[in-house]
């Protein structure tokens, strides 16, 4: 089936070349990082993780979101998702690949990566994160590819695929739970030390991931005339809206606990993020933009009449994406490190090379997604 | 022969998985102590069941602290980088930053501006050891939290986990920033995390840690498990505090205020 990715329209080739170009430019930046070290980034002794790990965290959510299609389709036999489900599975493959790349580019000694396997340490959450991410990548490639191939041949998928599908549903929850545990188990990082972290991660994943999927599916419909179906679009929009409500609710719970308990350590990260502290407030405009977009997207998405209007839906989804990305792809990480362990403020901002390397990873993910979706849509059109 | 390509691949695949999985399973079950053993231990070496440090902050001035920091950083080839990507093993903080949970506004001016030496606490329950995915940082039988610079992958999970900000990462090559290289101690390469080691290399030669040696008695180092040790005596006779004890990591650096 892979040969389907070799033939396409002129626009398809241009898009692939563009992605390869971005990857090329990013590679130069990554070469600099390999030879000079992470000093070319904006990270510091106080903010020792930055843009890379934040993107990794956000993309784990995007990957986990495939379950919002798989679960209704396989557990509840909700057939409307038939044409959408393969897009979700392949998007998970692309997202998990980006997660792993972001981890690799963040390492100080990437050539020692396999030490994680040579010296397996089950006490470390990072060890388990490697296990669940690789497992989820494997599950989605196998399930997506075999079901698509079976469909092409006009037969039902092999009987061993079903158990894998059920496993993948549970697995999707595990990848985001384990990723939340990376943060939620650390003493002294007040912004992260919260029992609701894994639940927040899942809620934000189940709105932001499907939102990205739906936006891309609508784009693909315009470009390739591959229509996932009106019912599928509206159902997914409904799921997204519910998940975003839960996501915002969970965030408000955090605010309540921090401010009603009045414990300074718990309030400080929120104050730094939303108001700034001691003259430092790099993230303040972003945080308020995120808050505005979160409320805005709920206003647009909750009334069914607005949500079912595709133009309004697209605006709502874009706002939702913006709000969740700032919350999880930026603020979550910085809020854990600022103020630091000495109640001092060291701010963080990514550097140009750091952003170029991130763009390289995003372009690689986009390339994987483009190829897989091209295959899937070509096959679907062939059998239609 | 009754074996076709498909069956061969199946058997080969299963053998590989069993081989790899088996080896690491044995590794996990064995739980070998991570102590490196010496061929012939130095008879002069200082040993203890639980190393700990008591810092008598009443006896320390800015100049003393500067001397102590210099002694440590010179001995261990700690680079002087001077940016926010700095590396430091021991340094000073003011009271409100050293003990941020104690928010007493009306503390005496003298204590408020007294320099407090900050270093790795060599915790009994070290969060950094718990999170390390490669066991590159580990706790020795004598309580010292050590690093294997050759195993560290530079993921910096330990830096996120340490509630005391004791760890530094070599963002770039540290060697150009080492003023006078001490040939008796290794320099580090970029991409690894480092911190205070309670001078394990000096203890093995029967010497006290470099900071203790130049502290004129303000820093006391000894065995916490020995009731007759200097550290226990100091803790018995003086009121002492530790940093962030509520987090349960059980720091082994004590401050007499």
Q: What pLDDT is attached to residue A259?
A: 97
Comparing CB atoms, the residue among B133, B154, B156 nearest residue A127 is B133
> How many helices (DSSP H) and strands (DSSP E) are in chain B?
9, 10
Closest chain A C-alpha to B161 CA, distance in angstroms = 5
Sequence-distant contacts of B246-250: CB under 8 A, at least 24 apart: B246/B101, B247/A187, B247/A188, B247/B163, B248/A187, B248/B125, B249/A187, B249/B121, B249/B123, B249/B124, B249/B125, B249/B126, B249/B127, B249/B163, B250/B123, B250/B124, B250/B125
CB of A123 less than 8 A from some CB of B: yes
Exposure string of A9-37, with b = 16+ CB inside 10 Å and e = fewer, is: eeeeeebbeebeebbeebeebbeebeeeb
Q: Are A342 and B133 a contacting pair at CB < 8 A?
A: no
Q: To the nearest whole angstrom, how far is the Cα of A142 from the nearest Cα of chain B? A: 16
Closest by CA position to A130, among listed B230, B133, B35: B133
A118: Cα within 13 Å, side-chain hemisphere: 11
Residue of B nearest to A125 (CA): B131
Q: Is the pLDDT of residue B130 over 60?
A: yes
How far is residue A152's CA from residue A376's CA, in Å, rounded to a whole number? 10
Beta pairing, strands B253-256 & B51-56:
parallel
CA distance to partner chain A, nearest, from residue B227 (Å): 30
CB atoms within 10 A of CB B114: 19
Nearest CA distance, A33 vs chain B (angstrom): 9
Q: What is the DSSP pairing of strand B91-93 with strand B116-118? A: antiparallel
Distance in Å, alpha carbon of A351 to nearest chain B alpha carbon:
14
Question: A114 and chain B: CB distance < 8 Å anywhere?
Answer: no
Alpha helices in chain B (DSSP H): 5-30, 62-75, 95-98, 109-112, 127-131, 157-161, 200-203, 210-213, 230-237
- Closest-CA residue of B relative to A47 is B160
Helical spans, DSSP H, in A66-196? 67-70, 85-106, 115-118, 125-153, 161-184
Q: Say which range, A104-108, A374-378, B11-15, B238-242, has the weakest mean pLDDT.
A: B11-15
**DSSP 3-state assignment of A349?**
coil
What sign does the CA torsion over A223, A226, A229, A234 have?
negative
pLDDT on residue A101? 97
pLDDT at B19: 63
Cis check for the bond before A42: say yes or no (omega within 30 of 0). no
**A343 in contact with B, Cβ within 8 Å:** yes
Residues comprising chain A, all counted:
384
Q: What pLDDT is recorded for position B6?
A: 76
Radius of gyration of chain B (CA): 22
Q: Please tell me the total number of residues recorded for chain B in this structure.
A: 257
State chain A's maximal CA–CA distance in angstroms.
66
Q: What pLDDT score was predicted for residue A266?
A: 94
Rounded distance, CA A354 to CA A41, Å?
Answer: 5
Q: What is the pLDDT of residue B87?
A: 97
Q: How far is CA B87 from CA A96, B71, B78, B79, B151, in A?
A: 33, 15, 7, 6, 19
Please say whether the beta carbons of A294 and A323 come within 8 A.
yes
Q: How far apart are CA A21 and CA A33, in angstroms?
A: 19
Report the chain B residue with the minimal C-alpha distance to residue A185: B161
- Phi/psi at B137 (5° precision): -110, 135
Q: What is the pLDDT of residue B76?
A: 97
Q: Which residues contact A226 (CB under 8 A, 6 or more apart)?
A: A83, A220, A377, A380, A381
State the complex-level ipTM. 0.91
Query: A124 CB near a chain B CB, below 8 Å?
Result: yes
Q: Which DSSP helix (H) or strand (E) runs through B147?
A: strand B145-147
Share of chain B above pLDDT 90, in %: 81
Q: Is the pLDDT of residue B31 over 60?
A: no
Hey, of B128, B171, B246, which one would you mutate to test binding to chain A, going by the most A CBs within 10 A of its CB? Answer: B171
CB contact under 8 A, B244 and A113: no
The neighbour count for residue A314, using CB atoms within 10 Å, is 15
Nearest partner of B188 among B206, B171, B210, judged by Cα: B171
**Mean pLDDT, residues B27-35:** 54
Phi, psi angle pair for A277, to nearest 5°: -140, 135
Spatial separation of the C-alpha atoms in residues A75 and A148, rounded to whole Å: 19
Q: Decide if B169 and A108 are in contact by the 8 Å CB cutoff.
A: yes
pLDDT at B23: 56
The predicted structure's pLDDT at residue B14 = 74
Cβ–Cβ under 8 Å, residues A287 and A281 = no
Please, what is the Cα angle at A121 between A118 and A125, to 5 degrees? 125
With CA atoms as reference, report the closest residue to B72 among B179, B214, B205, B173: B214
Show the tokens assigned to A335.
Answer: 């809020």
Mean pLDDT by 10 residues, chain A (384 residues): 88 96 97 96 97 96 91 92 92 96 97 94 95 95 93 91 93 94 94 96 95 95 91 95 97 97 94 95 96 97 95 96 96 95 94 97 97 94 84
Query: Residue written as tokens 């550097």?
Result: A351
pTM: 0.91
B191 touches chain A (CB under 8 A): yes
**Which residue is closest to A343 within chain B, CA to CA?**
B97
> Mutate which of A35, A36, A39, A282 to disrupt the B interface (most B C-beta within 10 Å)?
A39
Q: Answer whether B153 sits within 8 Å of A48, measured CB to CB.
A: no
Give the residue on A whose Cα is nearest the Cα of B32.
Answer: A119
Statement: residue B26 has pLDDT above 80: no
- Give dist(CA B148, CA A121) in Å, integer: 15
Interface of A with B in 294-333 (CB under 8 A): none
Residues in chain B within 8 Å Cβ distance of A108:
152-156, 169-171, 190-193
At A241, list the tokens: 């809206």
Q: Is B168 on the interface with A (CB under 8 A)?
A: yes
- Residue B7 is predicted with a pLDDT of 76
B161–chain A Cβ distance below 8 A for any pair:
yes
Contact state of B132 with A124 under an 8 Å Cβ cutoff = yes
């Amino acid at each position: 089936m892979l040969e389907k990715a070799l033939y396409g329209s002129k626009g398809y080739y241009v898009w692939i070349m563009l992605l390869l170009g971005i990857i090329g430019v990013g590679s130069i930046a990554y070469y600099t990082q390999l030879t000079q070290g992470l000093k070319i980034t904006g990270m510091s002794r106080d903010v020792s993780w930055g843009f890379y790990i934040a993107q990794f965290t956000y993309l784990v959510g995007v990957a986990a979101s495939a379950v919002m299609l798989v679960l209704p389709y396989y557990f509840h036999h909700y057939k409307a998702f038939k044409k959408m489900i393969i897009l979700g599975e392949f998007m998970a493959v692309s997202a998990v690949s980006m997660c792993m790349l972001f981890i690799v580019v963040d390492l100080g000694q990437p050539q020692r990566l396999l030490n994680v396997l040579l010296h397996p340490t089950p006490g470390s959450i990072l060890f388990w994160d490697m296990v669940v991410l690789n497992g989820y990548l494997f599950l989605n490639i196998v399930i997506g590819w075999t079901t698509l191939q079976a469909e092409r041949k006009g037969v039902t998928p092999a009987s061993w695929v079903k158990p894998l599908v059920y496993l993948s549903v549970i697995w999707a929850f595990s990848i985001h739970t384990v990723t939340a545990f990376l943060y939620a188990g650390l003493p002294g990082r007040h912004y992260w030390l919260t029992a609701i972290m894994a639940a927040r991660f899942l809620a934000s994943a189940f709105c932001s991931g499907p939102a990205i999927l739906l936006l891309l599916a609508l784009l693909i419909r315009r470009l390739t005339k591959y229509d996932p179906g009106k019912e599928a679009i509206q159902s997914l929009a409904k799921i997204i809206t519910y998940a975003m409500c839960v996501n915002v609710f969970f965030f408000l719970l955090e605010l309540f606990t921090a401010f009603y308990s009045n414990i300074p350590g718990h309030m400080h990260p929120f104050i730094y993020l939303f108001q700034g502290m001691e003259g430092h407030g790099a993230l303040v405009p972003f945080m308020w933009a995120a808050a505005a977009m979160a409320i805005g997207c709920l206003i647009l998405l909750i009334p069914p009449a607005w949500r079912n209007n595709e133009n309004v839906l697209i605006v709502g989804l874009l706002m939702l994406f913006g709000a969740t990305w700032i919350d999880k792809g930026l603020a979550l990480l910085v809020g854990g490190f600022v103020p630091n362990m000495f109640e001092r403020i060291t701010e963080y901002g990514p550097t140009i090379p750091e952003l170029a390397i991130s763009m390289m990873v995003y372009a690689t993910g986009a390339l994987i997604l483009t190829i897989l979706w091209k295959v899937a849509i070509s096959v679907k059109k062939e059998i239609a | 022969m009754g074996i076709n390509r498909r069956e061969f691949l199946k058997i080969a695949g299963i053998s590989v998985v069993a081989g790899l999985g088996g080896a690491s399973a044995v590794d996990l079950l064995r739980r070998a102590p991570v102590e490196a053993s010496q061929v012939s231990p130095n008879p002069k070496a200082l040993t203890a069941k639980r190393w700990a440090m008591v810092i008598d902050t009443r006896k320390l001035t800015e100049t003393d602290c500067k001397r102590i920091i210099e002694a440590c950083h010179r001995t261990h080839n700690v680079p002087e980088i001077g940016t926010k990507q700095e590396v430091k093993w021991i340094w000073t903080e003011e009271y409100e930053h050293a003990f941020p949970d104690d928010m007493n506004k009306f503390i005496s001016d003298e204590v408020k501006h007294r320099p407090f030496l900050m270093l790795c606490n060599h915790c009994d329950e070290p969060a950094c050891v718990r999170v390390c995915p490669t066991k590159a940082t580990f706790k020795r039988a004598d309580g010292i939290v050590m690093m294997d610079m050759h195993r560290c992958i530079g993921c910096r999970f330990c830096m996120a986990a340490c509630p005391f900000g004791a760890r530094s990462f070599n963002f770039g090559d540290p060697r150009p920033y080492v003023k006078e290289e001490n040939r008796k101690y290794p320099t580090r390469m970029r991409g690894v995390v480092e911190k205070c080691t309670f001078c394990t290399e000096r203890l093995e030669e029967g010497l006290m840690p470099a900071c203790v040696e130049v502290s004129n008695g303000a820093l006391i180092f000894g065995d916490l498990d020995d009731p007759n040790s200097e550290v226990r005596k100091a803790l018995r006779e003086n009121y002492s505090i530790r940093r962030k004890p509520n987090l349960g990591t059980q720091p082994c650096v004590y401050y007499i205020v």
